[in-house]
Each structure stands twice: as structure tokens, then as C-alpha cells.
Chain A
Amino acid sequence: MSATSTDIFRLLDVEKTYDIGRASASLFGAGKRRKLAALDGVRLTVKPGESLALVGESGSGKTTLLRVLLGLTAPTDGRALFREKEIAELKGDDRDRFARDVALIYQDARGSLNPRMTVLDLVAEPLDHHGLCPRAERRDRVAALLQRVGLPAEMMGRYTSALSGGQVRRVAIARALASNPSVLVADEAVSGLDVSTQAQLLKLLRDLQRDMGVSLVFITHDLGVAAYLCERIAVMYLGRIVETGATREVLTAPAHPYTRALLNASPKFFAPIAEPLPGEIPSPIDLPKGCRFAGRCVEARDDCRLTDPALRADGARAFACLHPLDRPRALG
């Protein structure tokens, strides 16, 4: 976590709380102001060319974190930096550069693309907007981008309604690549697809990331996807990163019981279905003191319910747990 200026994103103890009004006066007496901490002290760096997976259940804060990274929402505390500049305060040329440099692939690709625009116009829009391409070369550039994502150039004249789910995702990827960004941010970009289509897209994304050297921040709840696509992983729970490190190391020897629970829950060939994690992610309103995961943790002891563990580093790994799981010593 050294503060080198080459880092693309740097989040320093980012907090994002939402004011959700007063509690009902009849039930809770006076009705104090209630806050919902969507993000609570998140520290994260994204280096050039690096791929990072953000995993966790719904409600863990993945999407809020993504909104902070994209400057769509400002943190209520802490700093969110893009190339050492506060994201929420980017203006003028910096803001334009940010918009070119950071591309998002939305979860709902079809919904993110205007159905009244042709594929040509959709993919060319970032080029036109940023003035990246002379009018005469527009078609060629779009054709090249489509080829990059494995679509024929003839698709240019089509509307998205005429494309399959997999093709629409490819168009969304081509559009994201149009401005030649240095970071791709993808929110569940392969969920809800057939396994075969998903496999093709994952292969495409991995090839693109490796060939073009772009950084990738990939939000997913599928650990298999995270392992395939990303070198680093950050496991989130209730607005915090509870474990982070090299994906393979984290997933082969998890230190946090939550990471292990996620691993157990993912389907494995011929293995008996593991004892599932009890309950659901609790409401982030009025969190108990102590470890947030203690209520669902099979390893929880008395002190877990009293002390809130901080994220502590152990070599390249970091985890927030008072009683981490036994695992082989992390290397280097």
C-alpha cells in the first residue's frame, strides 16, 4: 500500500453513509437520526495493469464502492483518489481525462445501451464525445473495436434489439474500450448468461486485459469468475473489506471465515452441498459492536462480539479477523 504516484486508484479509509431519516418515534421513543454505513473504512489501491475482483453478497457495499470509484457519489469521509487527485473534485481537463480513462461495463448491458441507436453509433459515441477520431475514420475504428470483441463488422448497422444477450455484452465492452481507457470497471458483467456465453466473455475479458494492459476492477459474487479473471481479490462484508490478497492464495487458504463460507457455498463437482452459511447479510443500520460477521460466523468467540477487528496486513495478505483460520504461512 505504498503511496506511489503510479497507482490509478487509491482509496484511503473511504466511508459512505446515507442518512435514512429518523427512526419511527412511536417505536423507538424520541426517534434518533439513523445512518446507513454503506462503506466503512475501505482502503484499496488499483495499480496499472492490475486486475482486482470485488466479491461479496448483495448488500456488502460492492456497488457503492464502484460508484465512489466512478465519481458518481462522493465519500462522506476519507479520500478517493484517481491518479492522486480527489475523484469527486475533478474538474475541466482532469474530469475529461477521467471520463476517457475509466470505462464502465454495466451489469445490465442491454439497459445501458440506447435501443434507438445503431451499434455503430453506440460504439462511436465515446469517440465522438471525446473527439478522438476524425469523422472519416469512424467506421474503421468501430469495425476494429467490434473485431476486438469478436463481432463481425456487419453488425454496425443493427440495433441492440436484434442482438443476443452475449452479443449485447460484447457491444458494451467495445463501447467501453472505445476511448482507450486505462481502467475497465465491470459490475457483474457476465451474470445471467448461459455458461457457454459466460465462458466466451470471460476469456475475451481476460485476453483484452492482458493484451491491452488495462486495469480491471471486476465486481462479482462468483468466486470461480474472480479466480479466473483477477490476480487480486477483495472480499467485502457489510461495507468493509474483510480479506484481500492474491486471488489464488486467498481462495486456496482463506484466513477469514467469511471467505471460507463463500468458498463452501460455490458449487463444486460431485462434492456434497456444504453446510450453508446461516442467515442473511444483516441490515447495515445500527450495526452491533464487535465483528460484523460474528452473528453468522461458526468460529465466533466471546471477544468477537465485543471487539471490532481492524484489517491487518500479513505480507501481501490482509484480513480483519480476531481468530483467523489456520493456513500455511503466506509466502513473501
Chain B
Amino acid sequence: MAAALAIPRSDPAGATPAAAPADALLRVENLSLTRGEKLILDDVSFALKRGATLALVGESGAGKSTIALALIGLLARPQVGLDGRMLFDGADLATSSERDWLRLRGRRISMIFQDASSALNPCFTVGAQLMTPLRRLLGLSKAQARKRAVELLEGVGLSDAESRLDAYPHQLSGGMQQRVMIAIALSTNPELLLADEPTSALDVTIQAQIVRLILDETRKRGASCIFVLHDLALASQACDEIVVLYGGQVMEAGPAETVLREPLHPYTVGLKACVLEIDTEELEPLPSGSPSFASKRPGCRFAPRCASALEKCAGEKPPLIETRGRRLACWNPVA
């Protein structure tokens, strides 16, 4: 696993773009999700290899976090209609019962939330929250759990780990809280880690530390990781694969290097043009607008904001086809 990761990100042949690699840990197939009249996710498919990292990117409302919540079984099931499959190591998460989830959630799939200060329980010490999964899920004794908890906190770079166990979350800085949450998420050695904007509330310097930490720790364990991100530059740095979403539809997906170096979908191009780097002189922001989730609308959801939209775009949804090393859903891609 570690060896596979040492290989540079770009797939030399670029022949099989994320479609269905044989060693996929996770295969999301034609996932659709309805909430009332709204179609929140519309036919989303992607696959994740063991030990690989994948970025879900897009604006708010793209469905990134919804996908993450679906993958850890935290959607309010009676209120949403789920269609399609989410194959995790062969088993379909979409049809998992709550009993199945108890064996998966926190053990084989765990999640790092965006806002550590509200994800951690303010009433319990860091130690109590870190030792709970160790004792309940791994069955360690209290003494063993405490020893392991110290190791985990040291592993995520928290100094003075022993005494931090007795600290309450509010006594830690935002960066330290995020480290604690990473330690909790990693405590059961999950095979899949979901990180929902793990750094957006943090300073840039701490952001770099946290992203490095997540990547190092998942690599060490051979785990796969799905990042929900809105920063395309960070996605290009941290992830092997990328899925660009708009209004619950996949616009473009494939190896991050291929997609971001030469984006073909006008939306990916637009998003990339919004990223500020140190030498950005001019910005060409996408026009404002938000997607319609009406399930009856047939076309590409990005069409109303798309500068290169054709007449066809509003009427007929473009299929996700494989082209130039990636998957693309667009009637009029950038040349």
C-alpha cells in the first residue's frame, strides 16, 4: 500500500479514469438522493482505490457533505430517498441496517468534521472522548485505553499528551481540537477516513500542518481518505483523484493532476479561475447563481451559469463519458 502511494500521482497511461478499478475500496454507483421534491444528488458515481485520496469539490449546495454523510450513514433516512449503490469492500452501504452501521461507523469508516469545536463534546474531557471508541469498539481496558490515547495524541503532534487527556475541548486551540478529532477518527484504524473541510476554520499555517498530518497518518495505515474541499489548489496538493460536483451532479472527475492541469468542463475552469495565488493579477469570477434542485428539470444544472452553454444544455442532461483521461459531463467542453 505504502509503495503504491510513493508512485507519483499522475497515472502514466491515464487510461482507466476512476471508473472501476479492480482494487477499489469504495465504489459509489449511480447514487441519487431525494429530499422531498428536491433531487439533492443526481446519479453520482466514483470509485476510490485502497490507500488513495479523493477530493470532492464544488460550491455550497454541490452535495459534497451529503455524500460524506451518506458514506458514514448519518443521513436522516426516513426523510431522504436513496437510490443507487455505495459498495464498501463489496457490501452495499445504501442498504445497510443500523445494526450493520454499528459495525462500520467509527470502526471501518470514520469522519473528521469541519468544526472541531462543535464536534467535540464540551462536557467531557479529551481523554474521555478519545477513550470511548477504544474501549467500546476495540474492547481495551481502561488502563490500556489511556495508554493508547496518549500514544494517539502524541501521534497527532500534541505536546504534553498525558496532561491533555484531562483537558476539556475549550481549553485547547482550534488547531489542537482538530488534532484531537483526527486522533479520535484514527483511533480504530479505519479503512476509510472522511474529512469534511477539516481546515477551513484554521489559519493557513495550521491548515498545512493538519492536511499533512491527515495524509501522513492515513498513508501509514494504508487507509483511504475522502476530503471535502472547496480549495482546488489544496485538492491538487493533497489528493490523487478529484470529483467536481455542481448541484448534486458530477461535472468532471478523474486524476486530480489531469483534471486540474487541463480542466475540460466550463465549471471546473471557472472554479479554477477563482483560486487566488500569490501572482494572480486578474480574477474572472463565475457569475453568481445557485443550482436548482427540481427533480423535473432535465438538463445540466450548471447551464444557467455557464458561459458556453448551448441550447441543448438546458434540455438534455449530458452523459458522463470517458474522455482524455477523465470522466466528463458536458455538451460543450472547453477545447
Contact = CB atoms under 8 A, between A and B. Distances in A.
Partners in one complex: yes
Interface of A: 57-58, 164, 166, 192, 194-200, 202-203, 221-225, 227-228, 251-252, 261-274, 276-277, 280
B305 to A, nearest CB: 9
B276 A270 contact: no
15 contacts: A166-B288, A196-B270, A196-B271, A197-B59, A198-B274, A200-B286, A202-B276, A251-B278, A262-B205, A266-B204, A268-B277, A270-B260, A270-B261, A276-B209, A280-B176
Interface string B146-178: 000000000000000000000000000111100
Contacts of B270: 196
B76 interface: no
A270 B280 contact: no
B276 A228 contact: yes
Given A57-B206, A227-B278, A269-B277, 17 more contacts: A164-B290, A192-B200, A195-B230, A195-B232, A196-B286, A196-B288, A198-B274, A202-B276, A222-B276, A261-B205, A264-B208, A266-B204, A266-B277, A269-B233, A273-B208, A280-B173, A280-B176
B207 A265 contact: yes
B238 interface: yes
A192 B59 CA distance: 12
Interface in B228-282: 230-234, 236-238, 257, 260-261, 270-271, 273-280
Nearest to B281: A228
A134 B176 CA distance: 54
A267 B60 contact: no
Given A267-B233, A276-B208, A224 B257 contact: no
| Residue of B59, B209, B211, B270 with most partner-chain A CB within 10 A | B209
Contacts of B271: 195-196
A280 B209 CA distance: 10
B203 interface: yes
Nearest to B257: A270
Interface in B210-236: 211-212, 215, 230-234, 236
A221 B232 CA distance: 18
Contacts of A274: 208
A192 to B, nearest CB: 7
Contacts of A265: 204-205, 207-208
| Residue of A166, A263, A277 with most partner-chain B CB within 10 A | A277
A200 B287 CA distance: 8
Contacts of A195: 59, 230-232, 271, 274-275
Contacts of A194: 59-60, 230
| Residue of B174, B204, B261, B277 with most partner-chain A CB within 10 A | B204
Contact of A267 (B234, B273, B286): B234
Given A266-B204, A269-B233, A197 B283 contact: no
Given A57-B205, A269-B277, A197 B288 contact: yes
B237 A271 contact: yes
A225 B200 CA distance: 15
B233 A202 contact: no
B285 interface: yes
B254 to A, nearest CB: 15
A331 B270 CA distance: 36
A311 to B, nearest CB: 21
B237 A268 contact: yes
A272 B208 CA distance: 11
Contacts of A198: 274
A144 B59 CA distance: 30
Given A195-B232, A200-B288, A273 B206 contact: no
B246 to A, nearest CB: 11
A269 B280 contact: no
B204 A273 contact: no
| Residue of B174, B175, B230, B285 with most partner-chain A CB within 10 A | B285
Contacts of B275: 195, 224, 269
Contact of A196 (B59, B206, B211, B280): B59
Nearest to A204: B285
A269 B232 CA distance: 8
| Residue of A192, A195, A200, A262 with most partner-chain B CB within 10 A | A195
Nearest to B272: A269
| Residue of B60, B236, B274, B279 with most partner-chain A CB within 10 A | B274
A223 B261 contact: no
Nearest to A223: B278
Interface string B277-307: 1111001111010100000000000000000
A222 B204 contact: yes
A243 B324 CA distance: 46
A203 B285 contact: yes
Nearest to B206: A280
- The 8 A-B pairs with the shortest beta carbon distances in the complex, nearest first, are A224-B276, A199-B285, A267-B233, A199-B274, A276-B208, A267-B234, A276-B209, A195-B274
Nearest to A166: B288
Contacts of A268: 233, 237, 277
Contacts of B290: 164
Nearest to A247: B278
